[in-house]
Amino acid sequence: MEIENFQGSGGKLLTDSEHNEGLIYVRAIISCPNCTYKKVFKKQFLRKDIEQIKVSLKVFDWMACDQCGDLLNLNLEFKI
């Protein structure tokens, strides 16, 4: 799911004190080393569903840029 900010059920941004301790927040930044292509994806996972992160990363593993054809770089940021 591509989003800019993690939001609570009321549509407002979550503060650090409102973050659920059972959740792992992941931000994936996909960029091309040769052109200006860049996408940011954010997702949250329950700790018990950690296997979903592994499946998601396998999808990103061999993505190629649709503008120049080069393999994309994948950078991950976690908030645990």
Note whether residue 51 is domain-resident: yes
Note whether residue 1 is domain-resident: no
Residues 14/20, Cβ–Cβ less than 8 Å: no
CA–CA separation, 8 vs 31, rounded Å? 28
**CA torsion through residues 51, 52, 54, 58, sign:** positive
User: Domain range for residue 31?
Assistant: 16-79
Note whether residue 53 is domain-resident: yes
Domain count, the chain: 1
Mapped onto helix, strand or coil, the DSSP state of residue 62 is: coil
pLDDT profile of the chain (80 residues), mean per 10: 43 50 88 92 86 78 86 89
Note whether residue 6 is domain-resident: no
The pLDDT of residue 35 is 92
Note whether residue 8 is domain-resident: no
Residues 23/45, Cβ–Cβ less than 8 Å: yes
Model-level pTM?
Answer: 0.63
Stated length of the chain: 80
